[in-house]
Amino acid sequence: MKQKKNSSLFILVFLGMMTAFGPFVTDMYLPTLPAMSEYFITSSSMVQLGLTTSMIGLAVGQLFFGPLSDKYGRRPPLIAAMSLFLLSTIGCIYSQTILQFVSFRLIQGIAGAGGIVISRSIAADKYCGRELGKMLAIIGAVNGVAPIAAPMGGGLLAGHTGWQGIFWCLFGLGIILLAGSFHFEESLPAENRKATKWKDMYLSFGRALRNRRYVCYILQFGFAQSVLFANIASAPFIMQQHYGFSPMTFSVCFGINAIAIVVSAAASVKFRHSEQALFTGSAGMIFFSILLCGALITRCSFWIYEILLVCLLSMLGLTFTASNTLAMDCERENAGTASALLGALGFAFGGIVSPLVGLGDIMTTTGVIFLVGSLSSFACTWYALRNRPFQHAAEMIRK
């Protein structure tokens, strides 16, 4: 009997939702942190520990579910991850102490990682070349918007449902994704799976890391993520405390910034080569981060800050899509492992950078982090492309 294939629309929506899953798990409840501090009768730092543990879970979980999906296929680990997510979310809702909540948040992050890492693996299974680039452009756009949209959505819910209501919303999202996981038809045929022992399976990490171009691409993605998370962590303070905006005005500006990432991620597939998009985006990041760093240090007007930030995030969107496409193309035979390392590194860099923006003067620190992240991103791009794609860059300039 011939197996029925999932429609392209289903794959598109399903992968998009799974990609957004991680940021919603980490960020959606942020507006309720003060209320949770009162609920659990604890300090704000203890409540924020739930954010830290979830990001650790999202990084570590990808290192687990990626190789697992290479060995057993995409569908069984995905169903297991979504089931574990539902159980851990119930645990968060009914936690009696902050330590219980933090523990369940770690498990929730690990489970949520399954959707993120397997979504990229499914894309690599089903598409290649420009088609893969188009799909990863959509995933990259969602990945750029979700960390911004999640706190906004949480803020709208918080006033009506409290923090438990936000977690019930996440539970509902988990139900939808679990149903989608059962409907999903396996994308990795049995003959293409890694029939190896667990020990040998994890040696694939070493093989992937010996691919220098792949390492450069995932490092570029990691440094680009550090710029994005620096913006997410600093923008609420810069816009509301320094420029005196209301939460509603701040949300509107955040939305505009998200649109910039979406548009540039979609535009990246218009480049003839992914290398061109990566080079253009990385070089543009340096240019606009230099201007933005100087503007923040000199206490520029809001409109200068906003215009330069939109330009920087637009360049960022180009690199997200290109680096994901090139990295997954480099390690197509170990797509699960490659996706795991890519995602784990992105969350690790974001987790490291987020608290750094609060050190010293936030305007200066944010500008410096933008510049350092952009310079590091371009260095990785240059090293990866130094032997072959500059002819693509030259071709692009001539056109």
For the segment 225-273, what is each residue's pLDDT rounded down to a tens digit? 889 888 877 777 788 778 887 766 776 777 778 778 878 877 877 787 8
The confidence score (pLDDT) of residue 397 equals 39
The pLDDT score that the predictor gives to residue 60 is 85
368/366 Cα distance (integer angstroms): 5
Architecture label for domain 204-399? Up-down Bundle (1.20)
Provide the residue ranges of all domains of the chain, joining segments of one domain with +.
9-188, 204-399
Residue 337 and residue 326 in contact, taking contact as beta carbons nearer than 8 Å: no
Domains 9-188 and 204-399 agree in fold: yes
Please give the average per-residue pLDDT across 6-14, as a whole number. 80
Using 50, 70 and 90 to split pLDDT, how confident is the model at 398? very low
- pLDDT per position as a tens digit, 31-85: 676 678 788 888 766 776 777 788 788 888 888 887 788 788 888 999 999 999 9
Fold of 9-188: Growth Hormone; Chain: A; (1.20.1250)
pLDDT band at 223 (very low <50, low <70, confident <90, very high): very high
pLDDT of 275 strictly over 80: yes
Q: Which pLDDT belongs to residue 108?
A: 92
